Amino acid sequence: MSNRIGSYISFTLFGESHGAEIGVLADGLPAGIPVDEDFIKKQLSRRRPVGAISTARVESDEYRIVSGVFGGYTTGAPLCLLIPNSNTDSKSYEGLTHHPRPGHADYTALVKYGGYSDYRGGGHFSGRLTAALTAMGALMQSALKAKGVEIGAHISTIGDIKDKSFTPSAEEFALSAQDFPVIDKAVGEKMKAYIAEAAAEGDSVGGIVELAVTGVPAGVGEPWFDGVENALARAMFGIPAVKGIEFGAGFDFARLKGSTANDLLQKEQGRVVTKTNNNGGINGGISNGMPVIYRLAIKPTPSIYKEQNTLNLKADTVAPLQIHGRHDPAIIHRAVPVTEAVSALVFADLLAQQYGRAWLVPVKEEK
């Protein structure tokens, strides 16, 4: 199993949806990073379900940091963050081992672990674990912000409904802190209505999240396989339901000519910048100093209440499956703070590789 990302600073994710607790263990953090509890709570509350467009399973997400923090600062020792699971209801998952949910990991987990895995609530594959990632990511996000590296994300597409693209500007980043983060609020209302409509039909919807990271200095990332794109792609595909990633113009590059695709270099206030940012701030796997821009395709929630005809392994026949339990009709709005958090973990590690771990400590306060 590989539940770890990062090399200079590593983050290991553990737990199951209906187990006692979920958590993240961070190793390699420098001493002296302030722990911004308010920001951690805020990010956790953004991930929590809201109203008719989310699951009915609401957890209080009372996190505990059980090691690696003393007097409000990281100590340099491994930091273990835990979140208990309390609002669990496992009875609706009992039949799923022999009648696996299509699109979920029930069948693949059964094949891989021979029936020993904890299937309750999706077990280790559940979106529930993203609460722990969100909390740890928030800790790193505030450390990065203090160093001028800011992460913003918004819902760019749901169905055929599209939000504006990131410029990115400080105003857009402020908007991305909403519960339903969109740049154009009217578009956001249409998206919510579309989710509610699918939910009423017992169905689910997917979408695209767009992220921007500003303030990353030029020169971060290592060719060939430890570049910024490589590190982000590896980490983002760990988030359940992420099925695609593109950087800058991404798949649109296929339609462009070199003369329009190339980002021309120029100087602004003594700094080298590019006129356009089709490459999403990355060339050769190395940051070029422009905002790092990427988009993630999030699939529709696999657990839908509509009946589906799918293989029953025990009966060895295709049979109607009626899914019960509590599920999100759309994952995307809850995934936004998760994608920000995982981005923070990736950039903390990449920047520590480039400048040393101590670079992440905002102000060196002698103890």
Closest CA to 212 of 156, 254, 263: 156
Q: Which is nearer to ligand FMN, 181 or 302 (CB)?
A: 302
Q: Minimal CA–CA distance to 133: which of 346, 348, 341, 347?
A: 341
Instruction: Between 108 and 260, name the residue whose CB sits nearer to ligand FMN.
Output: 108
List of residues contacting ligand FMN (CB under 6 A):
55, 104-105, 122, 125-127, 130, 239-241, 299, 301-303, 327-328, 331, 334-335, 338
CB burial of 277-303 (b: ≥16 within 10 Å; e: otherwise) equals bbbbbbbebbbbbbbbbbbbbbbbbbb
CB of 168 to ligand FMN, least distance (A): 23
Which residue lies nearer to ligand FMN by CB, 201 or 252? 201
Tokens of 118: 């904890």
Q: What region does 201 belong to: left with phi over 0, alpha with psi -120 to 50, or beta?
A: alpha
Q: How far is the CB of 323 from ligand FMN (least distance, A)?
A: 8
The C-alpha atoms of residue 241 and residue 157 are separated, in whole angstroms, by 15
The owner of tokens 């009992």 is: 94
3-class secondary-structure state, position 322: coil
Q: Helices in the chain by DSSP H: which ranges?
A: 37-47, 106-113, 130-146, 170-175, 185-200, 228-236, 258-261, 332-355
Q: Which long-range contacts (CB under 8 A, 24 or more apart) does 4-9 make?
A: 5/231, 5/234, 5/235, 5/238, 5/342, 5/345, 5/346, 5/349, 6/345, 6/346, 6/348, 6/349, 7/226, 7/349, 7/353, 8/349, 8/352, 8/353, 8/357, 9/345, 9/348, 9/349, 9/352, 9/357
Measured from the CB atom, the residue of 263 and 328 that comes closer to ligand FMN is: 328
CA–CA separation, 120 and 123 (whole Å): 5
CB of 193 to ligand FMN, least distance (A): 20
CB 3 → ligand FMN: shortest distance, Å? 13
Task: Round the CA-based radius of gyration of the chain to a whole number and report it.
Answer: 21
Nearer to ligand FMN by Cβ, of 44 and 79: the residue is 44
Minimum CB separation from ligand FMN for residue 43, in Å?
A: 13
In this complex, which beta carbon is closest to ligand FMN, that of residue 145 or of residue 299? 299
Q: How far is the CB of 204 from ligand FMN (least distance, A)?
A: 8
Minimum distance of ligand FMN from residue 255's CB (angstroms): 28
Pick 133 or 249: Cβ nearer ligand FMN: 133
206 vs 362 by CB, closer to ligand FMN: 206
When the beta carbons of 277 and 303 are compared against ligand FMN, the nearer one is: 303
Q: Least CB distance from residue 39 to ligand FMN, whole Å?
A: 19
Angle among Cα 337, 138, 178 to the nearest 5 degrees reads: 40
In Å, how far from its chain's centre is CA 315? 38
CB of 206 to ligand FMN, least distance (A): 10
Which residue, 327 or 357, is less far from ligand FMN as judged by CB? 327
Taking the complex as a whole, the smallest distance from the CB of residue 143 to ligand FMN amounts, in Å, to: 23
Output the residue with the shortest Cβ distance to ligand FMN: 127
